């Protein structure tokens, strides 16, 4: 083997080692908060406040979880978050399908202006919308309700969902739905029988993004809802903070409860999610 080939091989090995080292460090940095959250949820108060802090649990206990599940409003907030997130996801997916079909298949005057308007809506900081939305919801008397969270989450997630589904529909040949309409389908039937089955990866991608965003939304939910009857998990977790002390064990246990549904949704739909993201990045 010549010296030039040895040098090239050595460079490749060093680059591979460097790449895997950077990747390993990134994984550790990304997973450390989650691991620390789970470990702290199993610690009794004596270990949580130990100095220096330890990564090991010497006396693991599920008392924090039992207290969160049976002595707090977390179960009710879990139900509220589930109602808001699932309803928002279903509405966003259905509305985005019809809107994306209009952008991708119909010739409409002002469609480019509408697309640009949706992008501007995505770029606007959420805090700017807080006061106008609060005044509007107060005028319609829908503060402190499921509707206020659902409507807000739909408005937040719909622009990106429409743009994503538009890219998927534009990547599908027009001949497919035209052939379906020749066979007797109307436009609605062609959407449900042709376009949606072909765009499964896009639908699942939009659904996952919408569900996660609605599940974790805090800013609007904390300002538009005050009663525990409609409080979502992202807001309810702040109840573990008192005036003089923070219940770290309860807060970490509640955080684990919040993270589990999102993790399950992502793990179950991971294959479709990756396919949808990669397809959306090269199509449209």
Whether residue 53 is contained in a domain is answered as no
Same domain, 43 and 86: no
Same domain, 40 and 129: no
Whether residue 59 is contained in a domain is answered as no
The pLDDT of residue 152 is above 80: yes
Whether residue 56 is contained in a domain is answered as no
The pLDDT of residue 71 is above 60: yes
Same domain, 140 and 276: yes
Same domain, 163 and 248: yes
pLDDT at 276: 57
Whether residue 216 is contained in a domain is answered as yes
Burial class of residue 249 in the structure, from the number of CB atoms within 10 Å of its CB (0-12 exposed, 13-18 middle, 19+ buried): buried
Domain of 182 in residue numbering reads as 70-282
Task: Tell me the β-bridge partners of 241.
Answer: 246
Angle, vertex CA 240, rays to CA 237 and CA 244, nearest 5: 145
Whether residue 207 is contained in a domain is answered as yes
The pLDDT of residue 76 is above 80: yes
Provide the domain count of the chain.
2
Give the pLDDT band (50/70/90) at residue 196. confident
Neighbours of 260 (CB within 10 A): 11
**End-to-end CA separation in angstroms for the chain:** 48
């Amino acid at each position: 083997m010549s010296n030039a080939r040895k040098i090239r091989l050595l460079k490749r090995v060093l680059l591979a080692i460097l790449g895997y080292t950077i990747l390993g460090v990134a994984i550790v940095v990304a997973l450390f908060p989650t691991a620390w959250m789970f470990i702290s949820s199993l610690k009794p108060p004596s270990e949580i406040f130990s100095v220096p802090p330890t990564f090991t649990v010497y006396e693991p206990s599920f008392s924090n979880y039992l207290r969160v599940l049976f002595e707090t409003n977390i179960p009710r907030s879990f139900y509220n978050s589930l109602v808001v997130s699932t309803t928002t996801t279903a509405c966003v997916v259905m509305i985005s399908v019809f809107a994306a079909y209009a952008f991708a298949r119909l010739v409409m005057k002002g469609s480019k202006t509408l697309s640009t308007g949706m992008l501007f809506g995505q770029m606007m900081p959420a805090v700017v919308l807080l006061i106008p939305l609060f005044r509007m919801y107060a005028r319609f008397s829908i503060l402190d309700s499921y509707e206020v969270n659902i409507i807000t989450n739909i408005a937040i997630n719909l622009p990106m969902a429409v743009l994503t589904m538009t890219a998927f529909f534009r990547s599908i040949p027009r001949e497919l739905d035209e052939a379906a309409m020749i066979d007797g389908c109307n436009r609605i039937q062609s959407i449900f029988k042709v376009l949606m089955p072909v765009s499964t990866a896009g639908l699942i991608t939009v659904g996952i993004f919408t569900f996660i965003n609605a599940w974790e939304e805090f800013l609007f939910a904390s300002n538009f809802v005050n009663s525990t009857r409609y409080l979502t998990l992202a807001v309810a977790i702040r109840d573990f903070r008192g005036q003089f002390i923070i219940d770290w064990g309860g807060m970490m246990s509640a955080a684990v409860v919040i993270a589990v549904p999102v993790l399950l949704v992502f793990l179950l739909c991971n294959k479709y999610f990756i396919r949808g993201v990669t397809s959306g990045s090269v199509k449209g």
